[in-house]
């Protein structure tokens, strides 16, 4: 697996207007997004598959890894770069067997134990949150800055912080040792996704 740049990790939200959705992703990549994860909680399999193919055209054009949330079948069907699973999805070790050793595997983990288990079971990176209150995932456990640091320090694989991160609070995560910021609304809902991405990346890199 090639070295993964997780600095600005975009997670998509629901795609009602596909044209706008795809344009937002492309503009975000132009602004510096380094990884794209498609999250479609309610889409039919065929719709998800077709949408993922369209997104893959964009990510391939810019050489940005495409990760599919939860759906190992979709990830394999479109030959995405990887898959991201949560604690209530397909177990990490089983997912690793299904996707093979060369695909990227991310796991959501809110505690040190979950993170260490995921690393042992074959995860390439961890997503930890929610670090701030978030409207996009109301069932996400909340994680303090101290807990986030503990997760980062407990494993050798990189950690991205997720949950309610925006331009106003991203700098609060500076000294936690995270490998990147994972955002949804701060980019997907922005009037200018390219500019929003540039600004978030600047905050993270400064």
Contact yes or no for 117/85 (Cβ under 8 A): no
For this structure, is 108 an active site residue? yes
Residue 142 is given by DSSP the state: P
Residue tagged active-site, from 108, 149, 194, 197: 108
For this structure, is 137 an active site residue? yes
Q: Quick one: pLDDT band at residue 133, thresholds 50, 70, 90?
A: confident
In the prediction, which pLDDT does 2 show? Answer: 55
Contact yes or no for 69/76 (Cβ under 8 A): no
pLDDT tens digits, residue range 91-119?
999 999 999 999 999 999 999 999 999 99
Complete domains list, the chain, with CATH: 8-205 (3.20.20.70)
177: left (phi over 0), alpha (psi -120 to 50) or beta: left
Residue tagged active-site, from 96, 103, 137, 194: 137
Residue tagged active-site, from 7, 15, 39, 117: 39
Taking the C-alpha atoms of residue 39 and residue 168, their distance in angstroms, rounded to an integer, is: 24
Whether 90 has a pLDDT exceeding 80, the answer reads yes
For this structure, is 71 an active site residue? no
């Amino acid at each position: 697996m090639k070295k993964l740049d997780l600095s600005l990790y975009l997670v998509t939200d629901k795609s009602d207007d596909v044209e706008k959705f795809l344009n937002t992703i492309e503009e975000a990549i132009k602004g510096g997004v380094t990884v794209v994860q498609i999250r479609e909680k309610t889409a039919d399999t065929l719709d998800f598959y077709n949408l993922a193919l369209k997104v893959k055209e964009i990510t391939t054009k810019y050489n940005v890894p495409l990760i599919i949330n939860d759906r190992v079948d979709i990830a394999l069907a479109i030959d995405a770069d990887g898959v991201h699973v949560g604690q209530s999805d397909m177990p990490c070790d089983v997912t690793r067997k299904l996707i093979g050793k060369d695909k990227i595997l991310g796991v959501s983990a809110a505690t040190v134990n979950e993170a260490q288990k995921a690393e042992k079971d074959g995860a390439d990176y961890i997503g930890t949150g929610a670090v701030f209150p978030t409207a996009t995932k109301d069932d996400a456990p909340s994680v303090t800055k101290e807990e986030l640091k503990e997760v980062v320090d407990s494993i050798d694989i990189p950690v991205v912080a997720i949950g309610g991160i925006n331009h106003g609070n991203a700098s609060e995560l500076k000294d936690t040792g995270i490998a990147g910021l994972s955002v949804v609304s701060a980019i997907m809902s922005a009037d200018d996704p390219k500019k929003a991405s540039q600004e978030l990346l600047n905050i993270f890199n400064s």
